Structure 1
Amino acid sequence: MPPPRTNPLLAVDALHISFGGVGAVRGIDFEVYAGEVFALVGESGAGKSLTARALLGMAPRTAAVSGRVLLHGAPVTPADLGRRIARIPQDALSALSPVHRVEDQLALSVRSVQGLGRREARAAARRALADTGLAPEAAAAYPHALSGGMRQRAVIALALVNGPDLVVADEPTTALDPDRRERVLTLLRERCAAAGAALLLVTHDLEAVRRHADRAAVLYAGRIAELGPVERVLGRPAAPYTRALLAALPTAGLPHRSRLPVLAGAPPVPGATGEGCAFAPRCPDATALCHREDPGPRTVDGRRVACHHPLREAV
């Protein structure tokens, strides 16, 4: 169950990211609360990873970023990274130094962030690695000697070893097979819960969101199409784009050689969304109003939706 709503841990207000005047993220607002799993979902190019990088102050140098990102009500600073905010990137191997043993890397992080001595830092590193299920011999190995799943466990331990308030995981299981993917996501969710940390999960995997997230924001063309509790967003989607994503999921029991479901068309090129709803050219329910006016967000059935005709199929 989602935690009680008090003051948000993370608040993102009117986030805009553009390149040469072309908007890639166009006014995103959302909040993340302590102890919850919040997912950013959408197709490739929707702005998920770019948003996550901007939250961490890691947007590309060529990007123009505006808006507010607040942690506990104060602007996020470089000093927050590693201590109060941790990041898990898509490629676990890239997050680990190839020339240092895994436990040494965690101990170094503990010393630099918490100021502990060598012995205390190494003990903290070993506890964090053991909490993720890594055996002592794996903790003492170099990253290249570990399997993909073991490296991902090491990266989770590295993210959590300094007790952050928020963990930002950007497609953290991309390189793993389905079984390992589920185990790693379960471990990540459980370790964050045990540490009292919120988890911001960036993914295109709707089934992973259904199983592991409390709330989700569905992004399309750099904006939030729908935001709310997962059981409502994925159980009874109000936005046509969310319904289209769910309809495109492959299901068990498809006849042999049958065509896989697809979401027709392609997302608009940044800067070419036009005056109306960005999804209108692909939406089977679009009307003249949809092509003419960009819908603003509204509250529908316990979630926020940017659509002129929300829940149209369910009415």
Structure 2
Amino acid sequence: MPPPAPEPLLSVDALHVSLPGAAPAGVEAVRGIGFEVYAGEVFALVGESGAGKSLTARALLGMAPRTATVSGRVLLRGAPVTRTDLGRRLAGIPQDALSALSPVHRVEDQLALAVQSVQGLGRREARAAARRALADTGLGPEDAAAYPHALSGGMRQRAVIAMALVNGPDLVVADEPTTALDPDRQERILTLLRERCAAAGAALLLVSHDLEAVRRHADRVAVLYAGRIVELGPVDRVLGRPAAPYTRALLASLPAPGLPHRSRLPVLSGAPPFPGATDEGCAFAPRCPYATALCRTEDPEPRTVDGRRVACHHPLGETA
């Protein structure tokens, strides 16, 4: 008898996020997303700008815009996620590090305060823990004692990453966590995030535009388009042999190694729909080379194809 399947660390079911708009119900920017994340794994959300990646991450953290309407079920280790979980069981790494740091407190003091509020350590022990966390991301004592405005954008981003990791959360939600870093530092930080989460039995949910970084660091990946998951599965299958036409088009738009100088860069033709502007049928149909009348009239339901979940009427180029 096979061993029982592990329980997911994070369960997301039927997540909807609507923003104020002309329609009475608002603009539905995230449309019924569902997935699971397991302890020790790196799970990535990818897609074009406007696909709903960052809004999904903010909703999971309880940080969706105040005007947004959020519905669905989010469970962390089987219990509903609450705002008090942020910084304890759940931590976030935002894109804009400067807005996440107080301009009037030294970096190490901000981390030490986070340690004191969660772990209840004394001031000296909390400061030592803060400095260790900052050192893990490459920031020395002088950097730790600086105010945020005195650090470069990359150094501030590393400070925010240290703040997310310092209390050993169960889940870290990282929204483009290495945008401000050079390629070498990006690789080191992503490796650090993955190793620290794995060592603690935690999980990393990574939001990224960088498909090559996702290929190197993620275990599973969900591809979003127009607020919906179109493909989800092991990263080697999804990015190695994509089933959804959108995933294939997204990968084809990446510059190939050795592209001659002054060559035209590959592009994904057309444009994604404005959030909430999807008509009946598949949202990708206007840009899809496989689209049929069925695609334009009926939104595809997810199904299992070649070891991954795909929402497409013609996965892997199937014809009607």
Q: TM-score, normalised by structure 2?
A: 0.93
Kept in 2, the 8 Å contact 1:225–1:305? The answer is yes
Q: Give a deviation string over 1:274-309, Cα, whole Å, max 9, x none.
A: 111110100011112111211000001111000011
Correspondence for 1:13 = 13
1:36 aligned to 34, 41, 46, which one?
41
Deviation per CA, 1:52-93, whole angstroms, max 9, x where unpaired?
111111111221111101111111011100000011000222
- Residue matched to 1:298: 303
Q: Aligned partners of 1:144 and 1:292: how far apart in 2?
A: 53
SS at 1:107's partner residue? helix
Q: Answer whether contact 1:149 1:184 (CA < 8 A) is retained.
A: no
**How many Å separate the matches in 1 of 2:256 and 2:43?**
25
Q: 2:143 aligns with which of 132, 138, 144?
A: 138
Unpaired runs of at least 5, structure 2: none
Question: 1:99: how far off?
Answer: 1.8
Measured in 2, the distance between the counterparts of 1:39 and 1:51 equals 12
Give the SS at the match of 1:155.
helix
The count of aligned residue pairs is 311
**TM-fit CA distance, 1:246:** 0.2
The 2-side partners of 1:172 and 1:32 are apart by 19
- The gaps in structure 1 that reach 5 residues or longer are none
* Contact preservation (8 Å) 2:137, 2:189: no
- Distance in 2 of aligned mates of 1:133 and 1:5: 38
Q: Residues of 2 paired with 1:39 and 1:5: CA distance?
A: 21
Q: CA deviation at 1:172?
A: 1.1
Identity %: 87
Tell me whether 1:152 sits opposite 2:152 in the alignment.
no
- 2: distance between equivalents of 1:114 and 1:199? 21
Per mean C-alpha deviation after superposition, the further-off stretch among 226-235 and 250-259 is 250-259
Alignment match, 1:308: 313
- 1:117 corresponds, among 122, 138, 141, to 122
Number of the residue aligned with 2:255: 250
Q: Does 1:199 align with 2:226?
A: no
Specify the alignment match of 1:97 in structure 2. 102
> Which one of the candidate residues 200, 205, 219 is aligned to 1:214?
219
Equivalent of residue 23 in structure 1, options 1, 20, 28: 28
Whether contact under 8 Å (1:46, 1:220) holds in the other structure is yes
Are the counterparts in 2 of residues 5 and 33 from structure 1 also a CA contact under 8 Å?
no
Distance of aligned partners of 1:287 and 1:310 in 2 relative to their CA distance in 1, 3 Å threshold: same
Is the CA contact (8 Å cut-off) linking 1:110 and 1:125 kept in structure 2?
yes
